Chains A and B, each alone.
Chain A
Amino acid sequence: MLAKAAPFLARRALIGVLTAGLLAGSALASTAGAETLTVWWNKGFYPAEDEAFDQVVAEWEKATGNKVNLSYYSTGDIPAKIISAITTGQVPDIAYADLNDFAIVPQQAWKGALEDVSDVVKPVENKFTPTALKGANLYNDQEKKRSYYAVPLKQQALHNFIWKPMIEEAGYSEKDIPLDNWDKYWAFFGDAQKKLRAKRQRVFALGFPMSTVDSDNYYTFNQLALAYGARFVKPDGTLNLDDPKAKEGAIKAITFLTQAYADGLVPQGAINWGDPDNNAAFFSKQIIMTSNASVSIPVSKSDDEKTYHEIITQPQPTGPDGQPVSSLVAVKIAVIPKGAPQVKLAKDFLSFLIEPERLDSYLRAARGRWLPVMPELIKSDPFWTDPTNPHIPVAVKQELEGPTEPWPFVYNPAYSQVNAEQVWGKAIGDVITNGLTPEKATEKAFARIREIFAQYQIAQN
């Protein structure tokens, strides 16, 4: 009898263990919900960024006695996490992704999937830049109104980064870069490429991301289009494609990029570049310059004094029309998804995070990759204007003294969809791989943009 029962008992014990394991898992998860704040955060590009945020979390835990369940996800993975969470309703209390503003938050605000965080933003409204406030003041189609559905934390714009040793090897110095003339500026790098090629170096002049993945490519395109005078969306959220300048600017920007590519000034691989790839190509000195949003390129080398000073950071050159080019500023925002178990705590945490001094020390500890969205921080903290620093003050001047303007998606989430679908990346690719003319590619992109906007009609009142 016993011998017969033994295997059965063994199996039952096994199933018991399995069930216990499952139950333990769920018990853990449910007790965790009681007084713990679940935070999903974009993993930084270098350790100091994460350490800076860890610091804020530790301070908040100490100040309130609550616990934070903090998870970092890589830039590539976190949009999938946030979208799965919102789709299934199984959301964290706070979600921050570098791509939030570009491709996620405006649409989710439109769908009514985010908590209104006016409680957090309103009390300190006067401290933010107007661009930052626009970036957080989003339209909710369920309630047919605009409100603060996101908390602005930090910002970025597109800067140009150049290797000093490379242009010196080509026989120039930093002062020779003609920052005041659009055409000469870009021709300068082509010339440097020619000189270096003559020395049998396999290098390229311009590291423009031109792919259909990630965000650097659409940042580059939209900034160029703006330099050529194209504005695709009006501040009231309606399309501006009938403005001849919009079409002309788009065509010129596409022509500019694809011509540089065809002329062999941009590496072939650039049509596959994800966000880290132009950085990698730059660091390996295959490209003389690259355009990149935020100052992560030099800042990630701040431990390496020599390299840090070999990189030149520059704003956009004077525009084709001889006027200063307005910089597209992207405001990085955190959100509380609807259905978050700890809305009150989440708001408390975000308010804590944006207390000016704390926000300043957070951004400074992150070494200035992201710039403050509160002008007073620039004035009160010499870190941002330190004249001995070759990068941060340049970026601060470009992003906070202007001229700047927000991305079109703050006016209408449809443009965030345009980014997510990579409409412009496809247009550029159509010219390069499918032989379309820039005019045709632009018309095709316009047609798609019209279709997308048709799904996002903002009530005008």
Chain B
Amino acid sequence: MAKATSERAPPLTRSDTGRQPRKLAPEHLWGVVFVLPYIAIFLLFVVYPVGYGLWLGADWTKLQALFADPLYYRTAVNTLILLLVGVNLKMFIALLLSGYLLQPYKWMPFVFMLIVLPWAMPAIPTFISVRWMLNGQWGLINNFIWTFWEIEGPGWLTSPSLAMGSVVTFYLWKWVPFWTVIFVAGRTAIPKELYEAAAIDGARGLQMFRFVTFPMMASLYLICTVLSMIWTLGDYNTVRFITGGGPVLSTHVLATLGIRDAFEVGDPGLGMAAVISALPLLVPLVAFLVWKMNKEHVQL
């Protein structure tokens, strides 16, 4: 890690030299050759399917049908809950955890190793396990409650609000570890000298965080949050395998609603319309991400 940190000592002048017109003919040719495989993939497997998808879903009557469905509003709200509450909570917990995990106790590496398990294990069987664990009749949690008190535990998956809460909770369970790993790396990449300098200036505890860690991590945190929102928008597995959209279709998100409309209701156009309806949210997020990343890139 230390090696990588020193390697990336930023050549601050590069953005100046980078704009020199130095495109010699053979180099330019090689440039094209090297990028060709990606362009092929992009045209064959991104442009074509996206175009086809838009053609399937850009049907005004389908959009109308979608907006007329009360289920759609519920789904949109759930999607927003996952995107705003879920993602932000996740990032915040990950940020805290990354600080916690860097405490220099001897046993901490062991904790670190186990904590990443939810992320490193395949999603589908773990979510199925969560679904069973939460089952009102035979799940581990309510069995525990029954064993000790002989009462029926809460309907973790049968009450709409608890079910949505379960989705968010286990979404956190699954993904906090990944972003914790990222933030641990981000924190370790902050030059020690900065902390030492701050210490000399008399900063301590929270002030260290406020004046060193936070400014250094801010961009990373922001980029990760936006990136995670975009990925979460397309997350099908969490809802599909924890609640299956139930009870009474109350926990669907756009990703699962699209698949339901396409395959269960049997209307692929409606499914694509659900996707397209996310574009007004998605496009600004992506535009922001691209802008932000370019800005970072220029500064590097």
Direct interface between A and B, CB < 8 A = yes
Is B97 interfacial (CB-CB < 8 Å)?
no
Q: What's the Cα separation between A100 and B265 when bound, in Å?
A: 12
Interface of A, helix, strand, loop or mixed by DSSP: helix
Is B263 interfacial (CB-CB < 8 Å)?
yes
Is B99 interfacial (CB-CB < 8 Å)?
no
- Cβ–Cβ < 8 Å partners of A430 in chain B: 248
Flag the segment in A25-33, A34-42, A77-85, A313-321 that touches B: A77-85
Of all chain A residues, the one with the shortest Cβ separation from B272 is A87
Name the residue in A79, A107, A274, A421 with the highest tally of chain B Cβ atoms < 10 Å from its Cβ: A421
With A272-B244, A272-B246 in contact, is A83–B266 under 8 Å at CB? Answer: yes
Q: What's the Cα separation between A19 and B232 when bound, in Å?
A: 34
Kindly provide the distance from the CB of B125 to the nearest chain A CB, expressed in whole angstroms: 16
Is A425 interfacial (CB-CB < 8 Å)?
yes
Is B78 interfacial (CB-CB < 8 Å)?
no
What 10 new A-B contacts, CB under 8 Å, besides A426-B249, A433-B248? A15-B37, A79-B263, A83-B268, A212-B249, A268-B158, A272-B247, A274-B244, A429-B247, A429-B249, A433-B250
Q: Interface residues, chain B, CB within 8 Å of chain A? A: 37, 56, 135-138, 146, 150, 152, 155, 157-160, 243-250, 259, 262-266, 268
- Cβ–Cβ < 8 Å partners of B157 in chain A: 269, 272
Q: What's the Cα separation between A417 and B264 when bound, in Å?
A: 10
Choose from B56, B138, B262, B264 the contact partner of A103 (Cβ within 8 Å).
Answer: B264
Of all chain A residues, the one with the shortest Cβ separation from B71 is A426
Question: Could you write out 8 A-B pairs with CB less than 8 Å apart?
Answer: A80-B259, A83-B268, A202-B137, A212-B245, A212-B247, A268-B155, A272-B246, A274-B244
**Are A79 and B266 closer than 8 Å at their CB atoms?**
yes
Kindly provide the distance from the CB of B158 to the nearest chain A CB, expressed in whole angstroms: 5
- Cβ–Cβ < 8 Å partners of B159 in chain A: 433
Choose from A104, A267, A286, A433 the contact partner of B266 (Cβ within 8 Å).
Answer: A104
**Are B263 and A83 closer than 8 Å at their CB atoms?**
yes
- Cβ–Cβ < 8 Å partners of B37 in chain A: 15
Kindly provide the distance from the CB of A368 to the nearest chain B CB, expressed in whole angstroms: 29
- Cβ–Cβ < 8 Å partners of A274 in chain B: 244
Is A281 interfacial (CB-CB < 8 Å)?
yes
Of all chain A residues, the one with the shortest Cβ separation from B153 is A268
- Cβ–Cβ < 8 Å partners of B135 in chain A: 269
With A213-B244, A269-B137, A269-B158 in contact, is A422–B266 under 8 Å at CB? Answer: no
**Are B248 and A426 closer than 8 Å at their CB atoms?**
yes
Name the residue in A284, A286, A422 with the highest tally of chain B Cβ atoms < 10 Å from its Cβ: A422
- Cβ–Cβ < 8 Å partners of B245 in chain A: 212-213
Is A257 interfacial (CB-CB < 8 Å)?
no
Query: Using an 8 Å CB-CB cutoff, how does the interface string of A248-282 with B read, 1 for contact, 0 for none?
Result: 00000000000000000001110110100000010
Query: Using an 8 Å CB-CB cutoff, how does the interface string of A102-113 with B read, 1 for contact, 0 for none?
Result: 011001000000
**Are B268 and A84 closer than 8 Å at their CB atoms?**
yes
**Are B262 and A272 closer than 8 Å at their CB atoms?**
no
- Cβ–Cβ < 8 Å partners of A420 in chain B: 264-266
Q: What's the Cα separation between A433 and B265 when bound, in Å?
A: 22
8 closest A-B pairs (Cβ-Cβ)? A429-B248, A80-B263, A272-B246, A268-B136, A271-B247, A87-B268, A268-B158, A268-B155
**Are B158 and A272 closer than 8 Å at their CB atoms?**
yes
Kindly provide the distance from the CB of A111 to the nearest chain B CB, expressed in whole angstroms: 10
**Are A202 and B146 closer than 8 Å at their CB atoms?**
yes
Of all chain A residues, the one with the shortest Cβ separation from B252 is A212
Q: What's the Cα separation between A80 and B146 when bound, in Å?
A: 39
Of all chain B residues, the one with the shortest Cβ separation from A432 is B248
Q: How large is the interface on A (under 10, 10 to 19, 20 to 34, 35 or more residues)?
A: 35 or more
Of all chain A residues, the one with the shortest Cβ separation from B56 is A87
Choose from A212, A286, A429 the contact partner of B138 (Cβ within 8 Å).
Answer: A286
Q: What's the Cα separation between A281 and B158 when bound, in Å?
A: 16
Q: What's the Cα separation between A269 and B132 when bound, in Å?
A: 11
Query: Using an 8 Å CB-CB cutoff, how does the interface string of A411-436 with B read, 1 for contact, 0 for none?
Result: 00000010011100110011011100
Kindly provide the distance from the CB of B60 to the nearest chain A CB, expressed in whole angstroms: 16
Kindly provide the distance from the CB of A418 to the nearest chain B CB, expressed in whole angstroms: 11
Interface of B, helix, strand, loop or mixed by DSSP: loop
- Cβ–Cβ < 8 Å partners of B249 in chain A: 212, 422, 426, 429
Q: What's the Cα separation between A286 and B263 when bound, in Å?
A: 32
Kindly provide the distance from the CB of A133 to the nearest chain B CB, expressed in whole angstroms: 24
Which chain A residues (405-461) contact chain B, with CB distance < 8 Å?
Answer: 417, 420-422, 425-426, 429-430, 432-434
Is A294 interfacial (CB-CB < 8 Å)?
no
Name the residue in B135, B150, B152, B248 with the highest tally of chain A Cβ atoms < 10 Å from its Cβ: B248
Q: What's the Cα separation between A200 and B151 when bound, in Å?
A: 11
Kindly provide the distance from the CB of B272 to the nearest chain A CB, expressed in whole angstroms: 10
- Cβ–Cβ < 8 Å partners of B56 in chain A: 87
**Are A271 and B266 closer than 8 Å at their CB atoms?**
no
Kindly provide the distance from the CB of A149 to the nearest chain B CB, expressed in whole angstroms: 16
Q: What's the Cα separation between A200 and B147 when bound, in Å?
A: 11
Q: What's the Cα separation between A284 and B152 when bound, in Å?
A: 18
- Cβ–Cβ < 8 Å partners of A271 in chain B: 158, 246-248
- Cβ–Cβ < 8 Å partners of A220 in chain B: none
- Cβ–Cβ < 8 Å partners of B246 in chain A: 211-213, 271-272
Kindly provide the distance from the CB of B264 to the nearest chain A CB, expressed in whole angstroms: 6
Q: What's the Cα separation between A268 and B266 when bound, in Å?
A: 29
- Cβ–Cβ < 8 Å partners of A204 in chain B: 137
Name the residue in B245, B246, B249 with the highest tally of chain A Cβ atoms < 10 Å from its Cβ: B246
- Cβ–Cβ < 8 Å partners of B146 in chain A: 202
- Cβ–Cβ < 8 Å partners of A434 in chain B: 248
- Cβ–Cβ < 8 Å partners of A272 in chain B: 157-158, 243-244, 246-247
With A268-B155, A271-B158, A272-B157 in contact, is A421–B265 under 8 Å at CB? Answer: yes
Kindly provide the distance from the CB of B245 to the nearest chain A CB, expressed in whole angstroms: 7
**Are B248 and A103 closer than 8 Å at their CB atoms?**
no
- Cβ–Cβ < 8 Å partners of B243 in chain A: 272
- Cβ–Cβ < 8 Å partners of A417 in chain B: 265-266
Kindly provide the distance from the CB of B181 to the nearest chain A CB, expressed in whole angstroms: 32
- Cβ–Cβ < 8 Å partners of B160 in chain A: 433
Kindly provide the distance from the CB of B177 to the nearest chain A CB, expressed in whole angstroms: 28
- Cβ–Cβ < 8 Å partners of B158 in chain A: 268-269, 271-272
